[in-house]
Amino acid sequence: MLHIKIDNNRVYGLDILRFLAIFFVIFGHASDILPEKLSKIHQKILPFDGVTIFFVLSGFLIGSILIKIINRTDFKTKDLINFWTRRWMRTLPAYYFTLLLLILPRLVLDASFYISSVWKYFFFLQNLYNQKLDFFPESWSLTVEEWFYLAFPFSLYLLFKLFNNKKAVILYTIISFILFSIFIRFHIYQNNETIDSFLGFLYQKSSHYQIRQSDVWSFRGLFCLLSSKPVAKT
């Protein structure tokens, strides 16, 4: 008899959210070729962004992992580097493999294509100033992912060097990320500006796109908070 081993610690609600995220992404991309009635269903009844749900799930996961690390360690430099290494080994190999698969044929078949035109993709800077990506546009979401992997843990790392209260540091960092993203979103929306900074890839000239991407930071911080378990003060 076949036997399926089920992990008792598995959260099935997260699996349901993953399914919904995949469904919304596929349905959203297919809306251009679907009959008009189905397209209206997507626009009016199912206006959810599957990519944002994926970001929320990722924020929940990263928040849980970071809090577990902080609970069992003092979050020293080696812990930060180990966290980054584990995250990057899960994402970077597939990303760079896909990137090379897209670049190499273009170099061979397109005489007007130069590697210098896509160097930013190797450092996740492609969204820094560009409103729309003509090459590998799907990579915009991974730039948000990777910069969050850098910014949030590094912020915790720096604050832990200044303060000893772990719970307070985590809480204030989360609140700071949420408030910062909301403030910048409101400022850009009101002034119709683009921020020229290392976080500029989050903010595009389209107001709708600005709001959606900056929401990612708020959602991540919120789910880090919701996923938190008791954290020791020292």
* Cβ atoms of residues 231 and 72 within 8 Å: no
- C-alpha span between 50 and 120 (Å, rounded): 26
H-type alpha helices, the chain:
12-30, 36-40, 50-72, 77-109, 140-162, 166-191, 207-226
Does residue 2 carry a pLDDT above 80? Answer: no
Delimit the domains of the chain by residue range.
74-226
| Total residue length of the chain | 234
User: pTM for this one?
Assistant: 0.73
- 221-232 per-position pLDDT tens digit: 555 555 555 555
In this prediction, residues 133-145 reach a mean pLDDT of 86
The model's confidence at residue 103, banded by pLDDT at 50, 70 and 90, is very high
**45-89: pLDDT as tens digits:** 665 677 888 888 888 888 888 888 988 888 889 999 999 999 999
For the CA atoms of 183, 185, 187, 190, the dihedral, rounded to the nearest 10 degrees, stands at: -140
pLDDT tens, position by position, 195-216:
444 344 444 434 444 445 545 5
CA dihedral 79, 84, 89, 91 (to 10 degrees): 150
pLDDT at residue 5, as a whole number: 65
Q: What dihedral do alpha carbons 120, 52, 16, 30 form, nearest 10°? A: -80
**pLDDT value at position 215?**
56
What is residue 89's predicted lDDT score, i.e. its pLDDT?
92
- Residue 83's pLDDT is 93
Q: How confident is the model at residue 44 (pLDDT cuts 50, 70, 90)?
A: low
Q: Half-sphere exposure of 148 toward its Cβ, with a 13 Å CA cutoff?
A: 30
For residues 66 and 153, the answer to whether their CB atoms sit within 8 Å is yes
Q: Is 12 a residue whose pLDDT tops 70?
A: yes
Q: Which of 64, 74, 220, 56 is nearest to 148 (CA)?
A: 220
- Cβ contact 105:135 at 8 Å: no
pLDDT one-digit tens code per residue, 140-184: 888 888 888 898 999 999 998 888 888 888 888 888 888 887 787
Q: What is the per-residue pLDDT for 97? A: 96
